[in-house]
Amino acid sequence: MSLQPKSPSHSVSGHFPPVIKKSHFWNRLRQRVSMLYHYLLGHYRLHKMLYGFALSQALYVTAKLGVADHLSQGSKTCEELAASLSVNVNGLCHLMRLLSKTGIVSVDKKGHYKLTALGSRLRSDMPNSLRGTVLSIAEIYPAWGNLLYSLQTGKVGFDKTFQMGLYDYLSQNAEANTHFNQCMEETTREWIIPSLALCDLSNIKTVVDVGGNTGMLTTMILKKYPHLETILYDQAHVVNEAEKILEAAQVANRCQVIGGDFFESIPAGGDLYIISRVLLNWDDVHALQILKNCHAAMGPSAKLLIMDFVLPNQGASAYELISSLQILILSGSRLMRTEEEYYDMLFKAGFHAPHLIKTGGMISFIEAAVE
Ligand SMILES: C[S@@+](CC[C@H](N)C(=O)[O-])C[C@H]1O[C@@H](n2cnc3c(N)ncnc32)[C@H](O)[C@@H]1O
């Protein structure tokens, strides 16, 4: 059957009576009232939440395609962008319209898209780039499909999704590993470094950065405190990438890089042991083992500084609760730890006098003494 009009009288320009009779004003008003009605009934709010994943994927695709890098030299139409990115033009035009609603780009009347300050954080060449974070979180995202599984079984949703644990997955997937490391670097820069001013490191000589990834925190500490030396300790395939970061910052001569397994042992010789965003990845048995190994490596006057998410007993933000659920998916039966839960583990590992230092940011500090 043809979908074409059968005769001129059925065509849009013919004498077919208009279906919409109401005036523009009344029609618009009716639409607004209807939208408000549905909003109040929860329809739109639920749909917006339900399609949160779509926004997340749109952000991922934008970062992955390098849209922000392509717009860094000036505004472009979506057709020009689609040609330079070799992607479906209609799809990309829709994506760009969506991005303009979220504040990633702005669009002028001629259809030229321009990066906003927010969108420029997706550029790969900016000192405040968050592109690696977007890519890494989105690469872990399929594991959220097993939130129900983790809730019902207490098992690791990530493992069910990827058929292996997070760190095995990263060691076997070079690109995902690079993005994960970038995510760690970017969030160290944003969350941890600004809070370092709360610590008095004047009496410290050597810092051991346990699970220090590619050395972003170590590098920042060495740059900020010229009297310090550090030992960077992480898995061999991770610390391999640290040398170039340390050398670029001209601090490599004050850092000893050691590859190893913190479940086996942790290097001795530090006055301050930092464990930043490591314990959150592990259940109590494994986290306790890391703390015990740390305690065994530390001299009697050395101090421990945990830098991690600490879940408030009350008043947690939506972001903290989402992060806590992500921990459940990554580690199985456990959520983000509270202050009391950290203290409990620290006592079991042999530490004394733990106390919480609230930074006012995403990450809190917990200090503890060996004796
Ligand atoms: C979430 S990252 C935190 C990195 C860094 N401390 C920070 O705050 O940005 C956890 C780190 O633990 C390291 N890690 C995981 N298993 C390890 C192991 N068995 N031995 C040593 N390091 C390990 C990972 O390679 C990763 O760099």
Between helix 339-348 and helix 284-297 the angle, nearest 10°, is: 50
Asked if the model's pLDDT at residue 180 lies above 90, the reply is yes
Give the distance (Å) from ligand 1 centre to CA of residue 213. 5
Q: Could you say which DSSP state residue 72 is in?
A: T
With cut-offs at 50, 70 and 90, classify the pLDDT of residue 41.
confident
Q: Is position 132 within any domain?
A: no
Residues 197, 282 share a domain: yes
Q: State the closest ligand 1 atom to the C-alpha of 185, by its place in the atom list counted from 1.
A: 9
Using a 10 angstrom Cβ sphere, with 0-12 exposed, 13-18 middle and 19 or more buried, the burial of residue 369 is middle
**Within a domain: residue 300?**
yes
Domain that holds residue 280: 186-312+336-369
Closest ligand 1 atom to residue 181 Cα is 27
Quick one: pLDDT at residue 74? 95
C-alpha of residue 53 to centroid of ligand 1, in Å: 27
- Same domain assignment for residues 238 and 351: yes
Q: Where are the alpha helices (DSSP H) in the chain?
A: 24-41, 43-50, 52-65, 67-71, 78-85, 89-102, 131-140, 147-153, 157-162, 166-172, 174-187, 216-224, 236-239, 242-248, 284-297, 318-331, 339-348
Query: Is 264 among the domain residues?
Result: yes
Do 207 and 63 fall into the same domain?
no
pLDDT at 113 > cutoff 70: yes
- Work out the mean pLDDT of the chain and round it to a whole number: 91
Asked, for residue 173, whether it belongs to a domain, the answer is no
The residue whose two tokens read 């690696």 is: 132
Q: Based on the fold, state whether residues 92 and 222 are members of the same structural domain.
A: no
Does 234 map to a domain? yes
Mean pLDDT of 183-211: 92
Domain count, the chain: 2
Contact 131, 65 (CB under 8 A): no
Whether 352 and 253 share a structural domain:
yes
**C-beta neighbour count of 332 within 10 angstroms:** 16
- Identify the pLDDT of residue 283: 87
Rounded distance between C-alpha atoms, residue 141 and residue 108, angstroms: 33
Atom index in ligand 1 nearest the CA of residue 170 equals: 25
pLDDT tier at 146, thresholds 50, 70, 90: very high
Token pair listed for 318: 């939506």
Work out the pLDDT band at 286, boundaries 50, 70, 90. very high
Query: What strands, in cross-sheet order, belong to the sheet with 112-115?
Result: 76-77, 112-115, 105-107
Atom of ligand 1 nearest to the CA of 262: 20
Burial class (CB in 10 A: 0-12, 13-18, 19+), 139: buried
- Rounded CA-CA distance 30/28 in Å is 5
Q: Do 69 and 198 have their domain in common?
A: no
Lowest mean pLDDT among 1-15, 146-160, 276-290: 1-15
Identify residue 283 by its one-letter amino acid code: D
Look at residue 320 and tell me if it is in a domain: no
User: Which of 106, 122, 138 is at the close of a domain?
Assistant: 122
Range from 27-31, 57-61, 149-153 carrying the lowest mean pLDDT: 27-31
Pocket test for ligand 1, best of 235, 275, 290 (most atoms within 8 A of CB): 235
* Residue 85, H or E segment: helix 78-85
β-bridge pairing 229-234 and 112-115: unpaired
Residue 225 sits in a domain of what CATH number?
3.40.50.150
Helix (H, G, I), strand (E, B) or coil at 275: strand
Looking at residues 291-298, what average pLDDT do you find? 98
For residue 338, what pLDDT is reported? Answer: 95
- What would you report as the CA-atom Rg of the chain, rounded to the nearest whole angstrom? 26
d(CA 263, CA 13): 77
The yes-or-no verdict on residue 16 having pLDDT over 80 is no
pLDDT for the residue numbered 15: 61
Res. 10: pLDDT tops 70: no
**What is the pTM assigned to this prediction?**
0.82
Residue 80 sits in the same domain as residue 217: no
Would you call 200 helix, strand, or coil by DSSP?
coil
Domain assignment present for 16:
no
Query: Closest by alpha carbon to 214, among 246, 191, 189?
Result: 246
Of ligand 1's atoms, which has the minimum distance to the CA of residue 210?
A: 6
pLDDT for 67-108, tens place per residue?
999 999 999 999 999 999 999 999 999 999 999 999 999 999
pLDDT-derived band of residue 17, with 50, 70 and 90 as boundaries? low
State the DSSP H helix or E strand holding residue 93, giving kind and residue range, or none if neither: helix 89-102
Separation of alpha carbons 10 and 15, rounded Å:
7
pLDDT higher than 90, residue 2: no
Same domain, 215 and 82: no
335 close to 325: Cβ distance less than 8 angstroms: yes
**Confidence label for 13 from pLDDT (cuts 50, 70 and 90):** very low
pLDDT band at 48 (very low <50, low <70, confident <90, very high): confident
Q: pLDDT of 335-346, one tens digit each?
A: 999 999 999 999
From 105, 122, 139, the end of a domain falls on 122
Residue type, 222: L
Tell me whether residue 168 is in a domain. Answer: no
Expressed in angstroms and rounded, the spacing between residue 16 Cα and the centre of ligand 1 is: 70
Helix extents (H) in 103-165: 131-140, 147-153, 157-162
pLDDT at residue 11 greater than cutoff 60: no
Q: Is 296 helix (H, G, I), strand (E, B) or coil?
A: helix
Pocket-testing residue among 137, 164, 166, 167, ligand 1, by greatest number of atoms within 8 A of Cβ: 167
Q: For 317-367, what is each residue's pLDDT tens digit? A: 999 999 999 999 998 778 999 999 999 999 999 999 999 998 988 899 999
Q: Whose CA is nearest to atom 13 of ligand 1?
A: 211
Specify whether 297 is located in the same domain as 197: yes
Residue 22, pLDDT > 80, answer: no
Pair (254, 364) in one structural domain: yes
Residue 33 confidence (pLDDT): 87
User: What is the structure's pLDDT at 12?
Assistant: 44
Output the domain CATH number for residue 79: 1.10.10.10
Predicted confidence at residue 18, as pLDDT, reads 65
One domain, residues 231 and 112 = no
Torsion of CA 319, 235, 126, 254, to 10 degrees: 120
Last residue of a domain, one of 122, 155, 176: 122
Measuring from each residue's beta carbon to the nearest atom of ligand 1, which residues come in under 6 Å? Answer: 167, 184, 188, 211-213, 217, 234-235, 238, 261-263, 276-278, 281
Closest ligand 1 atom to residue 263 Cα is: 19
